[in-house]
């Protein structure tokens, strides 16, 4: 079994590599990548799929991979048809960082301390129970499950999705009072959008909303 974890709907800045790749060379926009595989997926090509592709190095991060990843993310972010991005590794490895900070906020101090100090891995079931992942599915269907979830996200208003994501992420940095104020501010901001009006109209008329991201 595998855990479904990474879905991105926007990018807030370039990633920075911890190490350097040997013999890396830059790639022009639209060219084939060396360290990642990037393509549009979904029934209407609304999902950007990025797969890390350094199997011999177990997808260890490096200059070339990070540069290609930033390029692919920027391309998908600027594509009006793409509403969500799925980032995945290979069958054996997915490199990551932030274990002492993000992990602690996600699963609590006790479990984070044990995982960091012992280096022990946890099962997908334990990860879900701890709130580290939202869903568990077989390895062979993991990517397709992620794409289906991303398609649902992409079918919503990009403006409202971005606001919702900002509000949820802020919960890790703010007090409950501060977070509630931000949520209220963002909610009132939706009243200035055409998508909010379309969403309410579609709900009343019991039809699928046709968002324009405006």
Pick out the chain residues at pLDDT < 50: 1-6, 9-12, 17-18, 22-30
Which residues does 212 contact at the CB level (< 8 Å), separation at least 6?
194, 195, 198
Using alpha carbons, select from 132, 143, 80 the residue that is nearest to residue 107.
132
pLDDT per residue as tens digits for the range 53-91: 988 888 888 899 999 999 999 999 999 999 999 999 876
Which residues does 84 contact at the CB level (< 8 Å), separation at least 6?
7, 8, 9, 46, 47, 48, 150, 151, 153, 154
Tell me how far CA of residue 93 lies from CA of 25, 133, 135, 152, 166, in angstroms: 24, 17, 19, 27, 29
126: tokens are 């334990």
Per-residue pLDDT, 189: 93
pTM above 0.85, yes or no: no
Provide the terminal-to-terminal Cα distance of the chain, rounded to the nearest Å. 40
């Amino acid at each position: 079994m595998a855990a479904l974890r990474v879905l991105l709907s926007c990018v807030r800045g370039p990633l920075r590599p911890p190490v350097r790749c040997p013999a890396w060379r830059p790639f022009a926009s639209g060219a084939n990548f060396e360290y990642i595989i990037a393509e549009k997926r979904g029934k209407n090509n609304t999902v950007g799929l990025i797969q890390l592709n350094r199997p011999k190095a177990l997808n260890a991060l490096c200059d070339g991979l990070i540069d290609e990843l930033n390029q692919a993310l920027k391309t998908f972010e600027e594509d009006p048809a793409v509403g969500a991005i799925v980032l995945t590794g290979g069958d054996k490895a997915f490199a990551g960082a932030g274990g002492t900070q993000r992990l602690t906020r996600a699963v609590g101090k006790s479990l984070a301390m044990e995982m960091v100090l012992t280096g022990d891995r946890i099962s997908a079931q334990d990860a879900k129970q701890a709130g580290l992942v939202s869903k568990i599915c077989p390895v062979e269907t993991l990517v397709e499950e992620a794409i289906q979830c991303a398609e649902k996200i992409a079918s919503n208003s990009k403006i409202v999705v971005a606001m919702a994501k900002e509000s949820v992420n802020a919960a890790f940095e703010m007090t409950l009072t501060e977070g509630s104020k931000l949520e209220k501010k963002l909610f009132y901001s939706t009243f200035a959008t055409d998508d909010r009006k379309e969403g309410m109209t579609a709900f009343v008329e019991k039809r699928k909303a046709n968002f324009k991201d405006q």
